[in-house]
Structure 1
Amino acid sequence: MSKNVTRRRVMTLAAAVAVALTAAACGDGGSGPAVPGTPGGQKVAQSVFDAAPVASDAEIPAGSTMDMIRKRGHLIVGGSLDAPLLSQQNPTTGEIEGFDADMAKLLAKYIIGKPEVKTVTIGTQTREAMLQAKSVDAVFQTYTITPQRATQVAFAGPYLTSGLAVAVRKDETGIKSVKDLAGKTVIVGANTPAVTALPEHAPGSKQVAFATDPQAVQALVQKRGDAYVQDFTLLASDAKANPAIKVVGDPFTTEAYGIGLTREDAQFKEFVNNWLRKIQADGTWAKVWESTLGSVVEGGKPTPPALGSVEGS
């Protein structure tokens, strides 16, 4: 897949989400797009999990990571509990819902035969260490694939593409794109691609880093920075959940998400990639996207990115 094709798809997704968010914010009594886990919200139907594929015994050799996970009875995932549409804990049921969370459940179903997942909450700055220590089996956390990270961990996928974008307070009118951030104080997530991308796209900007997305959003609302630069998909979720902020402009980079794995386990990476191929081909991937991220996007579902299509995957 060419970079231009990928960028066009990201831009289309960005425009669609922006339209949906605007409609939800400006509606006069309409319900707007539903957020998973809230009254009237959507979640992946149980039938999707029931119909999801399960690996054969031949695909899980004795002594492999997959065999260990199957015998344990649950998949241990590094992730989040506070990312709307991606991985958020439902306050009523306690269930973790969203695109990343449901993808993790599907991988657990493929290995174990049931979607049993234990989620360990981690920050962006500790993901590599957690994988290297084998404290988690995999990381599902909008984990951007980069060559530098690939020297420390392995990435299956990519399984979704997005890009860096800009969020500002709702009443902000002077910032319309990343070009307007030159000389501004910009909030970023620690150890995220924004840290290195901002100097190129917004020369002279000053960065203020926070460990988690909720902390960064709170800092923006509290005017501790002029804008917040983060992955578009995450910002769209934030804006959906928090009417005090909005996303402006289009994504100014193209980012590919991967499933973080232990670098030394090539067998497990091949296994996870084979699983991704299956759920893309049988329509499971599309059903999860439509019920989560797709709930704030007008138009058709995106095409999953080609596996191994970016450096580091």
Structure 2
Amino acid sequence: MKKLIPLAVATALLLTACGNGNYAATQIPAEPEAPASSAAPAATVPCTAAEKAAELESYQPEPTLPAPMQMTPGTTMKTIQDRGRLIAGVSADSLHLGSRNPISGKIEGFDIDMIKAVAKAIFGTDVGHLELRVISSPQRIPLLENKSVDIVARNMTINCERWKRIAFSAEYYRSGQKTLVQRDSTATKLADLSGKTICAPAGSTSLDNLKKANPKIKPVTADTDTGCLVLFQQGKADGISGDDTVLAGDAAQDPYAKVLNERISDEPYGLGINKDNVDFVRFVNGVLAQMKTPPTPEGVSPWMLSYNTWLGTDLGKLTTPPTPAYGR
């Protein structure tokens, strides 16, 4: 079944693709980020059972964070402070996680709130000190490795294989992979979609999980979440497989879509950081710990406030954020 793209979606796609938003408001370069090399990464040694069991463990944060604008000389944070801005790789088309507001032109969402908190911890405010670089899923790891960005917040799953190339913060959200289909589909699970064409972002764990979960599916890829949504709306894909956070945003934009209840994986999100910058990982973990702490016994933590603002309506109420695991 082919269908027209709803007007709101078409407008949002134009803003994202053509860059008509207010770039000055979000400090995004007018020129898009150059694509990362498409060359296959060097082969890595497979993870051992012990490494796999410890993949969610990050680095223990320091007992206290330095005061804003008082970063310790010689640290990654001091380098960022002296530069005057934190450079973050983000999405601009994942509704509720990182997407451009078509009215203000600003990129906003749950992932963006995590980055803003890091910038505030370094500078005292994120205003004027945060450069958001819009990147695709396949660019995340290469841009961290070559230090084009300081940090990536783009619904990135922590896993052992990625730890061999980059470092992660402690888990800041636990997502899960689901499948989006046309509203009139009779499918209730991925097994019902054998022979169908399903889109998943390139360079994502969603693509790997999709192939393993149902080898009879015909996978197609796009570099962005919007790319998969466009293929779906054009009738070139029968469905989309991805994180429930992303699919909830897709379904909110498309009245002809629904998300199946079946969850085929857990996807723990971490902030990606260059593996050499362990001091920065510890710092970021301290920031996340503060975000998860209510300001008063009766209050709501900044993390919970962000979750309720961006994800709570579509994904349900949470009582606590993920518990961090340390041990590296």
Above 0.5 in TM-score? Answer: yes
Say which of 94, 99, 102 aligns to 1:91: 102
Specify the alignment match of 1:228 in structure 2.
240
The one-letter amino acid of 2:134's match is T
1:219 to 231, 250, 254: 231
Partner of 2:274: 262
Per the alignment, residue 21 of structure 2 pairs with none
Give yes or no for contact 1:185–1:227 (8 Å, CA) kept in 2: yes
The residue number in structure 2 matching 1:186 is 198
Aligned positions of 1:137-216 closer than 5 A = 137-173=150-186, 175-216=187-228
1:161 offset after TM fit, Å?
A: 0.4
Aligned with 1:244 (options 231, 251, 256): 256
In structure 2, list runs of 5 or more residues that go unmatched: 1-63, 295-300
Segments of 4+ moved more than 6 angstroms: none
Residue 203 of structure 1, CA deviation: 2.9
CA contact (8 A) 1:169 1:221 kept: no
1:106 aligns with 2:122: no
What SS class does the counterpart of residue 168 from structure 1 fall into?
strand
Aligned CA distance change for structure 1 residues 258 and 244 (closer, same or farther; 3 Å): same
**For residues 212 and 315 of structure 2, what CA distance do their matches in structure 1 show?**
30
Say if 2:67 is the partner of 1:56.
yes
One-letter code aligned to 1:304:
P
For 1:256-299, what per-residue CA distance to the aligned partner results, in whole angstroms no more than 9, with x for missing partners? 0000000111111111111111111231111111111123344x
From the two aligned structures, give the one with the greater helix fraction: 1
Indicate if the aligned counterparts of 2:69 and 2:124 stay in contact, CA closer than 8 A.
Answer: no
Report the alpha carbon displacement of residue 155 of structure 1 after superposing the two structures with TM. Answer: 0.4
User: C-alpha separation between the residues in 1 aligned to 2:147 and 2:204?
Assistant: 22
Question: Over the residues paired in the alignment, what is the CA RMSD in angstroms?
Answer: 2.1
State yes or no: 1:119 paired with 2:132.
yes
Q: What is the CA distance between 1:201 and its match in structure 2?
A: 1.8
Given the superposition, is the C-alpha separation of residues 58 and 110 from structure 1 closer, same or farther in structure 2, using an over 3 Å criterion? closer
Q: What is the alpha-carbon distance in structure 1 between the residues aligned to residue 279 and residue 219 of structure 2?
A: 40
Amino acid at match of 1:234: V
Contact 1:145 1:258 in 2 (8 A): yes
Distance 1:63 1:242 in 2: 49
Residues paired across the two proteins, number: 257
Q: TM-score, normalised by structure 2?
A: 0.74
> Please, which of 274, 278, 281 is the counterpart of residue 290 of structure 2?
278
Q: What is the TM-score with the length of structure 1 in the denominator?
A: 0.77
Instruction: Tell me the secondary structure at the aligned position of residue 144 of structure 2.
Output: helix
Read off the aligned partner of 1:130 and give its amino acid letter. Answer: L
Structure 1 residue 166, shift from structure 2 partner:
0.3
SS at match of 2:122: helix
Cα gap change, 1:54 to 1:243, in 2 (>3 Å): farther
Report the Cα offset of residue 209 of structure 1. Answer: 1.2
Task: Give the secondary-structure state (helix, strand or coil) at the position aligned to 2:131.
Answer: strand
User: Residue 305 of structure 1 aligns with which residue?
Assistant: 322
The AA in structure 1 aligned to 2:322 is P
Contact map agreement 1:69 1:112 (CA 8 A) in 2: no
Q: For residues 231 and 297 of structure 1, do their structure 2 counterparts lie closer, same or farther at Cα, with a shift above 3 Å needed?
A: closer
Fraction of identical pairs, as percent? 33
CA 57–288 in structure 1, closer or farther in 2 if over 3 Å, else same? closer
Aligned-partner residue type, residue 97 of structure 2: L
5+ unaligned residues in a row in structure 1: which ranges?
1-52
Rounded Cα–Cα distance in structure 2 between residues aligned with 1:122 and 1:255: 20
Are 2:157 and 2:268, in contact at CA under 8 Å, matched by a contact in 1?
yes
The reply on whether 1:133 has 2:151 as its aligned counterpart is: no
Code of the aligned partner of 1:301: L
